[in-house]
Structure 1
Amino acid sequence: MTADDTTGGTAAEGAPAAPEPGAGLWSLAGRWRGVGAAVGILALTRLVQLAMLLWLGAATQDGVGLRGRLLVWDAGWFLRVAVNGYPHGYTYSVDGSMEGNGLAFFPLYPMLIRAVAALGVEPPTAAIAVSWLASIGAAVALHLLGTSLYANLRGSSPTTGRRAGWALVAICCAAPVSVVLSMAYSESLFLALVTGMLVAAHRRVWWAAGLLGLCAALTRPTGVAAALALAVAALLELRRPDARRRWRPVAAALVALAGVPAFLGWVGWRVGDATAWFRIQSAGWGTSFDYGRSTVAFVGRTLSTGEGWVAVSVALLLLVALAAAGVALAGRPWLPLAVYGVVAMALVYGQAGFYHSKPRLLLPVLLTLLPAVIAAARARPRVAVLAITAWAAFGLWYGAYLVVVWPYTL
């Protein structure tokens, strides 16, 4: 099997080759030692992040403890859904205007919080525990994905795939706003599920890919991008002349594609309005799809006026992410991963809403990380470690600052 069978075209220099038959991913990833190193990288980033939260919190002297900082903003919404369930209709303020409510939040993360709380754990603690456990799953999945994609990278050593996996873990878990991986947010769960889905699809384990894709689609609305990526992977599999049991990739894709419409349809049925989820999003958070007009306006206005360093930094991060995605696409990555990244970025850049939430929404978009991952995998270990450490120093501090000092929601 050639790289053309996996990517759908002629592989470019630096593009991942198809997994060789019989090449076990567990062995390529370094078995328990390799996976343990990935979890250790995650633990190091989380410990440094928590230390920064404590340091900045001590400087502000606002009386909010570390646990309280991990339970702010969206965490409260998830906890209300987990404890009280979903409301039965719209919510209105005293002046009669519509407000946001828990129906805006997808169900899997609150369901897991409720399940852990049923074991006798306080719901806030359960929410943090689910997020932290999901972060561990995300680290393992990121390492396996990097290894699977780049184990046969042209012109590289046999250990390049393993190093790519570790680099993907470090770069993702130390990214700006990766602080949400420690908070009672759904990003860690979504990252674990979508990355696991991509690993399963790349290794052609279709039942796992379909299940993980469905779970991702029930975690965040960008799960639709993951489902489309799985559909592309299924189409590539159907093109293979030696493919067997062709119904399996098709079934996996259909299961994943059903997730987001199923939840949106359920919200519409519960409220009695087919557009209910979209109306709640718009009323509560100003979220609507305007094809990027508000994003372009924000970036242009911010870079021309320079008003507020956080706004400027967000604008620059949005531009850097676009540039990184362009470089990644020029290298012709695995097509399903490219489709997931492009669709997810289109959803983030194309929607109106809080501009300071966009870096958080970009965190699970793995496409933007690929150029740095390839460079780190091919570089000398000392150079790669120093470069990633510099990236982590900024990213971990930046996220801690936004949680402790920045007064607005992420």
Structure 2
Amino acid sequence: MTTTLPVAERNPLSPTGKKPPVAPVQRRLLDRLTPADLRVLRLYLFTRLGLWLVAYCTSWLSPAGSDAETPARWLSRWEQWDWAHYQHIAEYGYFDAFTRDEGASDNLVAFFPGFPLTLRAVHTVITDWTVAGLLISLVSGAVAVVALARIAGLGRPDSALAGQRATGFLLLSPAAVFLAVGYTESLFLAFALPAWLAAKNRKWPLAGLLTAAATTARVSGLFLAAAITVEFLLAQDDRRVHRRLRSLFWCALPVLPAAAYTAYLYAHTGDWMAWKHAQERGWNRNFHTPAEAFRNTWHNAFDHLQTTGYAWEFQLELAAMATGLLLMAWLLYRRRWPEAVYIVLTLWALGTSYWYLSIPRATLLWWPLWTGLAHWSLRRGWVKEAYVGAVAPLAVVLAVTFTSGHWSG
């Protein structure tokens, strides 16, 4: 004799036997995502898969140590260069006894605390440091691409297509590998792009708070704050003066994290300029005229002063600076003053060191570049074809360069 169970007993997860409902928080999140957002996220996940495959291949093509028969650990492919600094800060802090004994704290203070603090928090759940760093960038990048797509679509009838194009150009850009590794780019964009979107929608308190969060990760947050302030000053607003002043306060809020970090370093070092001096010691970021910086970079790129790998990276720096200057000129021509302010400040900071350094990585943060390319490609179909055919392959080259341990810029 068989017994038929009541419906409620067939599925212990649901009293009705039906698929359990989505949790309220998840449901609210899904409800906020449009079909266009979901298409952007699908592209994002596919490009993440591609980068993970590149890392897998380089673990075999460029094995660790001298044993050419044993591949390197896959996670080790992401533990390159600045990652060691971020993990050290998250694990030991800036001024622990071990760091002082090694003398490493002198240069560690060049890294803003936002990413290490986030890494330490995630590490309480994800015990592997590298996995925790990759997870931060994965989630942050997802937030960033959705925000970028929405920025690209502002005020356009073809908003969905414009957003997909902008996201595609970013994710296939030469330095795109840095959006996947445990670095600050994705985390910065996850705050900076929603901040810009909030500013365009005249939500000044939200824009100020998000920009302040971005400033904890990178000094570029101050450049973004300047751009948002210009956007605020240019906005047509009929509110009363005291409300305008209150909104202006939110635009200035991002100064506080930078000031707090400066005070923290002074308390430990007695040097109000500790961050700048660390940049100078570790990366030759002492002030030089733009002409001097260009000459020094050019000589290291083409005058056989460096090994070929390093010389090639200096050539990339020159190409990225040229791209930035063209972008700046276009923004000024179109009188897009807020975005122009952001790019001008960025180029000034990167173009007045002893030589150009980390400019290809900085291009990831230039959202006007990706939105501008997207809008241009919708008017001129050959732009997309040229980019995918001639520029996107460099993303694989740089991904291999980084994951094989040959990147230094």
Instruction: Report the TM-score, using the length of structure 2 for normalisation.
Output: 0.80
Structure 2 distance, partners of 1:126, 1:76, is: 13
- Residue 71 of structure 1: how far off its partner (Å): 2.0
Alignment partner of 1:109 is 2:107: no
Match in the other structure for 1:127: 133
- Residue 59 of structure 1: how far off its partner (Å): 2.3
Structure 1 letter corresponding to 2:121: A
- Residue 167 of structure 1: how far off its partner (Å): 1.7
Alignment partner of 1:345 is 2:362: no
Match in the other structure for 2:389: 390
Which region of structure 1 is more displaced relative to structure 2, 30-39 or 175-184?
30-39
Structure 2 distance, partners of 1:291, 1:194, is: 29
Alignment partner of 1:71 is 2:74: no
Relative distance call for 1:178 and 1:352 in structure 2 (3 A) is: farther
Structure 2 distance, partners of 1:198, 1:400, is: 28
Structure 1 distance, partners of 2:233, 2:285, is: 32
Larger Rg: 2
Match in the other structure for 2:285: 287
- Residue 388 of structure 1: how far off its partner (Å): 4.4
Structure 2 distance, partners of 1:352, 1:90, is: 31
Alignment partner of 1:72: what SS?
A: coil
**Aligned residue among 12, 35, 40 for 1:38:** 40
Structure 1 distance, partners of 2:249, 2:287, is: 30
Which blocks of at least 5 consecutive residues in structure 1 are unaligned?
1-29, 153-157
Alignment partner of 1:320 is 2:320: no
Alignment partner of 2:130: what SS?
A: helix
- Residue 293 of structure 1: how far off its partner (Å): 4.5
Output aligned runs, 1:1-400, within 5 Å: 32-62=34-64, 63-87=71-95, 100-148=106-154, 151-152=155-156, 158-159=157-158, 161-237=159-235, 240-241=237-238, 245-302=243-300, 305=303, 308-333=311-336, 335-352=337-354, 355=356, 357-380=358-381, 386-390=385-389, 393-400=392-399
- Residue 370 of structure 1: how far off its partner (Å): 4.4
Asked whether the 8 Å contact 2:331–2:339 carries over to 1, the reply is no
Report how many aligned residue pairs link the two structures: 366
Relative distance call for 1:356 and 1:100 in structure 2 (3 A) is: same
- Residue 280 of structure 1: how far off its partner (Å): 2.0
Relative distance call for 1:284 and 1:311 in structure 2 (3 A) is: closer
Structure 2 distance, partners of 1:408, 1:388, is: 23
Asked whether the 8 Å contact 1:49–1:396 carries over to 2, the reply is no
Structure 1 distance, partners of 2:384, 2:272, is: 51
Match in the other structure for 1:5: none
Structure 2 letter corresponding to 1:37: R
- Identity over the aligned pairs, expressed in percent? 23
Asked whether the 8 Å contact 2:173–2:392 carries over to 1, the reply is no
Choose between structure 1 and 2 for higher RCO, CA contacts under 8 A separated by at least 6 residues: 1
Relative distance call for 1:281 and 1:384 in structure 2 (3 A) is: closer
Structure 2 letter corresponding to 1:389: V
Which blocks of at least 5 consecutive residues in structure 2 are unaligned?
1-31, 65-70
